[in-house]
Chain A
Amino acid sequence: MRDVYIVGAGMTQFGKHLERSLRDLGREACLLALKDAGIRPKDVEAGYCGNALAPAIQGETGVGQNVFWEVGISGIPIVNMENACASGSTALREGWMAVAGGFYDVVMVIGVEKAVMPKGTMLNVGAGELETKLGEVFPGYFATIAQKHMERFGTTRGQMAQVSVKNHIHGALNPYAQFQKKFTVEEVLNSPMIADPLTLFSCCPNSDGAAALILCSKEKANKANSRAIRLAASVLATGTYDNQRDITNWEVEIRAAQQAYKMASLGPEDLDVVEVHDAFTICEILHYEGLGLCPLGEGGRLIDEKATELGGRIPVNPSGGLLSKGHPVGASGVAQVVEIVWHLRGEAGERQVQGARVGLADMMGGNKEGDTRACTVHILVKE
């Protein structure tokens, strides 16, 4: 297997882009990544596009071919990937495999989504699942996880709210974030209840946006630019749907993280900066534990210790996370890695984690039988 490097990274601002199309958003991200890498569209040998909802919301399929053609890329293999929230990070893994396996020297990965819905409507995804037909909604599943985590480990509503407070403080420093507004713990707790114990400001928004990366082999990276970041591990795992499992952790995440650490010959103690899938506040607490940033059950304590704030021992979601940066579903997994690339290069502006050399991005996608369908873990290293 060959070493794989990221030489180009770009993204649109996340938020409401009501007047812009998927192609328009995708084009912006692709052009930024190409320019950043200093390569031409005709140098790209394969393209991977993550998108989750366009068939359901816009009635559009083949988004990858549409977006890549916007920047003059055609004729090459182009693949559309759907893995719910992990669609973009799954596309990244496909690109990584192609370069690592020696099939191509330069590939492009894009995640793009328009998920902002007209007011008063809800996403109708997973409509074929029994739980959805019975009346399950996304926040409710995570609410049951929060209830059990509180019951088993004594995690508090205040600790969960603090995740949202922290990520909004970070997001206010990020010009790409959807929300530039800070909240207090009280404001998070007193916002409208969505599914006990999760309030409105404990849930990420639906967003529009796109993010793109250019991956290449070591030889090409040396030629492209001097700011290449090595993609040291790329893992995709699927849940086991164990019917009676303890829902206070995701076995699939623990397994994926261990595989990634082994692949990179690194451990959680080596990480300088982390981006996780904080679709709901409780998720970030479970991710601390699943990634080994703290022992199982101590995620609430980690947030109390301020370890995961900018300036703390291990900053998590310096971008603002999904809660503040926004969540254009298929783009989020790529945008997390764009953020890590910027930190490792020292280009993250006001929210820069000083001296960061190793970063990790963790994404989860979709629920099935009370478990997670897809979990990706990527580890990036500045050499």
Chain B
Amino acid sequence: MPDSAKNIPNTTIGSAVPVQEGLFNYPLADGERPALKGNRCIQCGKSFFPKRTVCPECFVSGQMEEIELERQGVIYASTVVRVSSPTGIKAPYAYGYVDLPSNQLRVFALFTGADPGSFVPGRKVELVLEAISKDREGNTVIGYKFKPVAG
């Protein structure tokens, strides 16, 4: 079992739903590693996450191809939030922006798996899929987060 899959809660009560369609595959197939799904304009090569229907530079329809973003990145900026979020995340929690250099993308993400204050700029992190909240129907909402790279 991939290490990150341990973070996915047992969802026997209610069901688990992704925070937004199209960001990542969920549930994962046997042996599938979590990955963010973006897309790229085949004309100019620019990548996007979340996916865009049309490249805002080239603006030619039918020119976008889906890509899988790299699983590891480097923290660009971060903060520790000391008040609980309107979506129900208990304080303190950490989030920030993660640079994915080979995709030339920066993504907003929650951090997990270590002391919230330890997610400083420059730290290497890797993608996991985890519960982030409960929706009104009692479903567990699954989002993506980044945790420290082991070792």
Contacts and interface: CB of A to CB of B under 8 A. Distances in A.
A140 B20 contact: no
B97 interface: yes
Interface in B68-125: 76-83, 85-87, 89, 93, 95-97, 99, 104-106, 108-110, 117, 121
B96 A135 contact: no
Interface of B: 19-20, 23, 50, 76-83, 85-87, 89, 93, 95-97, 99, 104-106, 108-110, 117, 121, 132-133, 141, 143-144
Given A135-B81, A148-B77, 7 more contacts: A130-B108, A134-B87, A135-B143, A145-B77, A195-B82, A244-B105, A370-B108
13 contacts: A122-B86, A130-B20, A130-B23, A135-B93, A139-B81, A144-B97, A147-B77, A193-B82, A194-B83, A195-B79, A195-B82, A196-B82, A370-B97
A244 B48 CA distance: 11
Nearest to B85: A135
Nearest to A244: B106
Contacts of B105: 243-244
B83 A134 contact: no
Given A144-B97, A244-B99, A137 B85 contact: yes
A135 B106 contact: no
Contacts of B110: 134-135
Most buried by B among A123, A135, A140, A195: A135
A192 B81 CA distance: 11
Given A144-B97, A147-B77, A147-B78, A135 B121 contact: no
A196 B87 contact: no
Contacts of A139: 81, 83
Given A194-B81, A195-B81, A243 B106 contact: yes
Contacts of A190: none
Interface of A: 122-124, 130-137, 139-140, 143-145, 147-148, 151, 192-196, 243-244, 247, 370
B79 A143 contact: yes
Nearest to A134: B143
A329 B107 CA distance: 28
A144 B98 CA distance: 12
Nearest to B143: A134
B121 A147 contact: yes
Contacts of A124: 86
A136 B121 contact: no
B134 to A, nearest CB: 13
Contacts of A134: 19, 87, 95, 108-110, 132, 143-144
A122 B105 CA distance: 31
Q: Sorted from nearest, which 7 A-B pairs have the closest CB atoms?
A: A143-B79, A144-B77, A193-B82, A135-B85, A196-B80, A122-B86, A135-B89
Nearest to B82: A193
Contacts of B143: 133-135
Nearest to B47: A243
B92 to A, nearest CB: 9
Contacts of B95: 134-136, 140
A192 B82 CA distance: 9
B139 to A, nearest CB: 13
Nearest to B20: A130
A133 B19 contact: yes
B53 to A, nearest CB: 16
A143 B85 CA distance: 15
Nearest to B145: A134
A144 B79 contact: yes
Contacts of B132: 134-135
Given A124-B86, A133-B19, A137-B85, A196 B106 contact: no
Given A130-B108, A137-B86, A151-B121, A195 B80 contact: yes
Nearest to A248: B77
Contacts of B83: 122, 137, 139, 194-195
A151 B23 CA distance: 31
Contacts of A148: 76-77, 121
B23 to A, nearest CB: 8
Contacts of A144: 77-79, 96-97
B117 A196 contact: yes
B150 to A, nearest CB: 23
Given A124-B86, A131-B108, A147-B121, A137 B97 contact: no
Contacts of B50: 130
A133 B79 contact: no
